[in-house]
Structure 1
Amino acid sequence: MFIVTVTYTAPLDEVEAWRPAHGAWLTQQIAHRRLLAAGRQEPLVGGVYLAPRMPAGELDRLLATDPYVVHGVAAHAVVGFTPHLVAEGLEVLAAEQ
């Protein structure tokens, strides 16, 4: 499993121009379970994604299609981890191993 942090590399007005395309991209990735969750950081300096286990190269190729990255307004950082303990109701996250 991976935690992906998104950091805006451009002013928010430039980021906002790509938000609809980015939102559609996120919706598609979540629908196909290539991402499991996504949301904004607080304060709004970027976002965070939760991605299932997959080869690192596959995740890199997926993230390269994010409209924010394609249009140069954000960058990603990836941290891999293996969840061993999960809250009740989230057992599927431990099964993603």
Structure 2
Amino acid sequence: MFVLELTYTADLESVEAVLAQHIEWLEEHYAAGTFLASGRKVPRDGGVILAVGGDRAAMEALVATDPFVRAGLTEYRVTEFLATTTAPALAAHRQRLPG
């Protein structure tokens, strides 16, 4: 599982101009089952996405396709973790420790 943390590198006016494209990108990956949750950070200096699937390299390649990244408006911090304990609603995404 991955925590994808976005940090804006541009002003909010520039971010707002690309927001509709970013939302379409999010919806595409929700439909594919890759994204589980997302939202704005408070204060609004970026966002967070909870994602599943693939390995770190695949996830880094995926975030590079975000319209915010393509427009030079944000940077991503990709954090991989093993979700060994989850709420019942996320049980399908529980992971086991290696070994």
Decide: shared fold, TM above 0.5.
yes
Render the CA deviation track for 1:40-80: whole Å, top value 9, x for unaligned: 11111110011113122211111110000000000100111
C-alpha deviation, 1:95, in angstroms: 5.0
4 and 96 in structure 1: CA distance in 2 versus 1, 3 angstrom threshold: farther
Post-superposition offset of 1:85: 1.6
Q: Secondary structure at the match of 2:19?
A: helix
**1:90 counterpart SS class:** helix
Instruction: Measure the CA separation in 1 of the matches of 2:56 and 2:69.
Output: 17
Query: What does residue 92 of structure 2 align with?
Result: 92
Give 1:38 deviation, angstroms.
1.4
1:96 is displaced (CA, Å) by 9.0
Distance 1:51 1:96 in 2: 17
1:13 aligns with 2:13: yes
- Matched with 1:27 is 27
CA apart distance, 1:92: 2.0
Give the TM-score normalised by structure 1: 0.90
Tell me what 1:61 maps to. 61
Q: Is the 8 A contact 1:34 1:51 kept in 2?
A: yes
Aligned to 1:73: 73
Aligned-residue offset at 1:35: 1.8
For the residues of structure 2 that align with 1:35 and 1:50, how far apart are their CA atoms? 6
Structure 2 residue runs without a partner (length 5+): none
2-structure distance, mates of 1:38, 1:45? 14
Query: What is the CA distance between 1:93 and its match in structure 2?
Result: 2.7
Any gaps of 5 or more consecutive residues in structure 1? Answer: none
User: Sequence identity, in percent?
Assistant: 36
The total of aligned residue pairs comes to: 97
